[in-house]
């Protein structure tokens, strides 16, 4: 289970593993109740580390919603909870600052509470061990991408277009690296929500009818994050409407043209990250895989490189991240220390996730 930077609800999948390959048996998306969504928005979009009192209350509320999502998923699949080996729950990220003197990444939705309420062993808090080992704590998806999408003849890049965009570079020698390139849907979603009252720009239609403003794009691209070397990770604590306002304040650009420029920002920064690796193809997953305009602009920035959906390789792009946490839970229960050094910069292999027993 995971709720990403879009904070629209919980994605949950029931996954079985045969020959180490995941098979999605059932899936659900459980939207957050309006009150919980508003509380999360206030907490996350402030750009400040949340206070303990607010986090304690939301930790319990989110765990309750995640637990209810488990019940919904099992009911839909007609599966008894006793048949489930474990739950892998990423929770909801509310703060991610892996650099500095006190690096940390905070996910709410208590795994202990989920385990007690569902009666199922729950693995959560997946980033902590990596950060304690000197890593960024994210992205973790490249570990799964290497396991599932090994390239046939040339380096392959797997691109996740969630709220934040991240890439996995999978080599023919079984090597993998990856990092967050910057914003994907987070700014576009926030902008259209403010100006159109819609949760997202379906297929990128609103942006496609606007025009990119080169002056604004150049200003956005000047942010030092885009030039900083990997390993690196980020979130909406950084890339939010307050960040955009620093560059867009008093410009007078039409709202639709700003949306078009945000699409171009994602396309350019993703392409700039991918092109040096000269991949044979790019596999796309995440909500942005449905944004036709964004994919068109990405293809324009990477001529000659095929851009494909992970669906062509047996995994629905909407559920790849949820599958990741089922896979990570399985790895944790097996006691497999995972080498994230080439991805996050961790100094040694780590056991990702803490195990919460139901009793």
CA-closest candidate to residue 340, choices 155, 161, 146, 182: 146
Q: Are 185 and 163 in contact (CB under 8 A)?
A: yes
CA end-to-end distance (rounded Å), the chain: 21
Per-residue pLDDT at 284: 98
Tokens standing for residue 267: 């396309």
Would you state the pLDDT for residue 4? 75
Token pair in block for residue 271 = 């392409």
Retrieve residue 322's tokens.
């949820």
CB 96 within 8 A of CB 237: yes
Q: Which two tokens stand for residue 284?
A: 């796309």
Residue 102: CB atoms within 10 A of its CB come to: 7
Q: How high is the pLDDT of residue 219?
A: 98
**Residue 148: both structure tokens together:** 């599932």
- Rg from Cα positions in the chain: 19
Q: Which of 10, 36, 1, 4 lies closest to 235, judged by CA?
A: 4
Which residues are bridge partners to 12 per DSSP?
Answer: 28
CA 214, 180, 148, 157 torsion-angle sign: positive
161 DSSP 8-state letter: E
Q: Are strands 9-18 and 21-31 parallel, antiparallel or unpaired?
A: antiparallel
What is the 8-class DSSP label of residue 315? S
Instruction: Write down the pLDDT at residue 44.
Output: 79
Q: Could you give phi then psi for residue 309, rounded to 5 degrees?
A: -90, 150
| 72 touches 10 (CB < 8 A) | no
Report the pLDDT value the prediction gives residue 185, as an integer from 0 to 100: 96
- Phi first, then psi, for residue 291 (nearest 5°) are -90, 95
- Name residues whose C-beta falls within 8 Å of residue 63's C-beta, 6 or more positions apart in sequence: 108, 109, 110, 111, 113, 114, 117
pLDDT of residue 21: 87
Q: What pLDDT score does 359 carry? A: 87
> Residue 47 has what pLDDT?
75
Q: What is the DSSP letter of 317?
A: T
pLDDT of residue 154: 96
Bond from prior residue into 231 cis (ω within 30 degrees of 0): yes
The whole-model pTM stands at: 0.94
The pLDDT of residue 248 is 97
Q: Give CA–CA dist 160/350, Å, rounded.
A: 23
Domain range annotation of the chain = 141-313
* Alpha-carbon span 67 to 76, nearest angstrom: 14
Question: Residue 45 has what pLDDT?
Answer: 73
Of the candidates 89, 87, 105, 85, the one whose C-alpha atom is nearest the C-alpha of residue 97 is 105
Rounded (5°) CA angle 346-339-115: 90
Q: Per-residue b/e over 238-265, b at no fewer than 16 CB within 10 Å? A: bbbbebbeebbeeeebeebbbbbbbbbb
Q: Would residue 19 be called left, alpha or beta, if left means φ above 0 and alpha means ψ between -120 and 50 degrees?
A: left
Domain 141-313: CATH superfamily, name plus number: ATPase, nucleotide binding domain (3.30.420.40)
User: What does the block give as tokens for 261?
Assistant: 């420029």
Taking only the tens place, the pLDDT of each residue in 285-305 is 999 999 999 999 999 999 999
Sort strands 354-356 and 122-124 into parallel, antiparallel or unpaired.
Answer: antiparallel
Q: Are 86 and 137 in contact (CB under 8 A)?
A: no
Residue-level pLDDT, tens digit, the chain, 359 residues: 999 777 778 999 999 998 888 999 999 999 999 999 989 888 877 778 888 988 999 999 999 999 999 999 999 999 999 999 999 999 999 999 998 889 999 999 999 999 999 999 999 999 999 999 999 999 999 999 999 999 999 999 999 999 999 999 999 999 999 999 999 999 999 999 999 999 999 999 999 999 999 999 999 999 999 999 999 999 988 999 999 999 999 999 999 999 999 999 999 999 999 999 999 999 999 999 999 999 999 999 999 999 999 999 999 999 999 999 999 999 999 999 999 999 999 999 999 999 999 98
CB 159 within 8 A of CB 212: no
d(CA 35, CA 247) in angstroms, rounded, equals 31
């Amino acid at each position: 289970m995971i709720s990403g930077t879009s904070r629209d609800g919980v994605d949950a999948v029931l996954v079985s593993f045969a020959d180490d390959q995941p098979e999605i048996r059932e899936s659900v998306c459980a939207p957050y109740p309006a009150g919980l969504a508003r509380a999360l928005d206030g907490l996350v979009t402030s750009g400040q580390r949340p206070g303990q009192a607010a986090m304690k209350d939301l930790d319990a509320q989110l765990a309750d919603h995640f637990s209810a999502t488990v019940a919904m998923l099992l009911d839909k699949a007609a599966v008894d909870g006793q048949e489930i080996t474990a739950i892998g729950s990423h929770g909801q990220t509310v703060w991610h600052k892996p650099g500095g003197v006190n690096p940390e990444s905070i996910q709410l939705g208590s795994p202990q509470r989920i385990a007690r309420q569902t009666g199922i062993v729950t693995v959560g808090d997946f980033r902590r061990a990596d950060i304690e080992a000197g890593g960024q704590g994210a992205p973790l998806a490249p570990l799964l991408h290497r396991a599932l999408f090994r390239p046939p003849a040339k380096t392959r890049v797997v691109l996740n277009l969630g709220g934040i965009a991240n890439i996995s570079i999978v080599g023919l020698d079984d090597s993998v690296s990856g990092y967050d390139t910057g914003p994907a849907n987070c700014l576009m979603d926030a902008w259209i929500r403010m100006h159109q009252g819609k949760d997202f720009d379906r297929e990128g239609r609103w942006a496609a009818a606007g025009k990119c403003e080169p002056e604004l794009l150049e200003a956005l691209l000047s942010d030092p994050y885009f030039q900083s070397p990997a390993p690196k990770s980020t979130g909406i604590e950084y890339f939010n409407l307050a960040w955009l306002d620093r560059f867009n304040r008093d410009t007078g650009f039409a709202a639709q043209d700003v949306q078009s420029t945000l699409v171009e920002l994602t396309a350019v920064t993703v392409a700039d990250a991918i092109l040096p690796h000269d991949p044979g193809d790019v596999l796309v997953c995440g909500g942005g895989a449905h944004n036709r305009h964004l994919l068109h602009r990405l293809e324009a920035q990477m001529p000659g490189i095929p851009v494909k959906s992970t669906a062509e390789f047996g995994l629905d792009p909407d559920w790849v991240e949820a599958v990741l946490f089922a896979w990570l839970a399985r790895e944790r229960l097996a006691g497999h220390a995972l080498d994230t050094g080439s991805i996050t910069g961790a100094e040694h292999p780590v056991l990702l996730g803490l195990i919460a027993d139901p009793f």
